[in-house]
Amino acid sequence: MRDNFNVDDVDMAIVAQLRKNGRATNQQIADLLGLTAATVSARIRRMEEADRLRVVAVSDFAAHGYNVLMQVAVAVDGRPASEVAAELAEFPECFAAHLVTGRYDIDLLVVLHDFNDLPKLLLDKFSQVKGIRSLTPTIAVDVIKYKFDVAPISSGAN
Q: Is residue 119 part of a domain?
A: yes
CA-nearest of 91, 99, 77, 101 to 122 is 91
Amino acid at 94: C
User: What gap in Å lies between CA 52 and CA 79, rounded to an integer?
Assistant: 34
Task: Please check whether residues 79 and 133 belong to one and the same domain.
Answer: yes
Confidence of residue 31 (pLDDT cuts 50, 70, 90): very high
Q: Is residue 150 part of a domain?
A: no
CATH code, 97:
3.30.70.920
Residue 125, pLDDT > 90, answer: yes
Owning domain of residue 82:
62-139
Q: What is the mean pLDDT of residues 109-121?
A: 93
Task: Please check whether residues 72 and 27 belong to one and the same domain.
Answer: no
Share of the chain above pLDDT 90, in %: 65
Task: Please check whether residues 42 and 93 belong to one and the same domain.
Answer: no
What's the mean per-residue pLDDT of the chain? Answer: 88
Supply the pTM of this predicted model: 0.66
CATH code, 42:
1.10.10.10
Q: What is the mean pLDDT of residues 118-131?
A: 95
Task: Please check whether residues 72 and 100 belong to one and the same domain.
Answer: yes
Task: Please check whether residues 68 and 132 belong to one and the same domain.
Answer: yes
Task: Please check whether residues 37 and 66 belong to one and the same domain.
Answer: no
Q: Is residue 29 part of a domain?
A: yes
Task: Please check whether residues 93 and 43 belong to one and the same domain.
Answer: no
Task: Please check whether residues 17 and 86 belong to one and the same domain.
Answer: no
Q: How many C-beta neighbours within 10 Å does residue 145 have?
A: 5
pLDDT tens readout for residues 43-68: 999 999 988 888 777 667 777 788 89
Task: Please check whether residues 135 and 66 belong to one and the same domain.
Answer: yes
Return the higher-pLDDT residue of 22 and 108.
108
Burial class of 63 by CB neighbour count within 10 A (0 to 12, 13 to 18, 19+): exposed
Task: Please check whether residues 77 and 29 belong to one and the same domain.
Answer: no
Q: What is the pLDDT at residue 98?
A: 97
Number of domains in the chain: 2
Task: Please check whether residues 38 and 69 belong to one and the same domain.
Answer: no
Cα angle 2-34-37, degrees, rounded to a multiple of 5: 60
Residue 114, pLDDT > 60, answer: yes
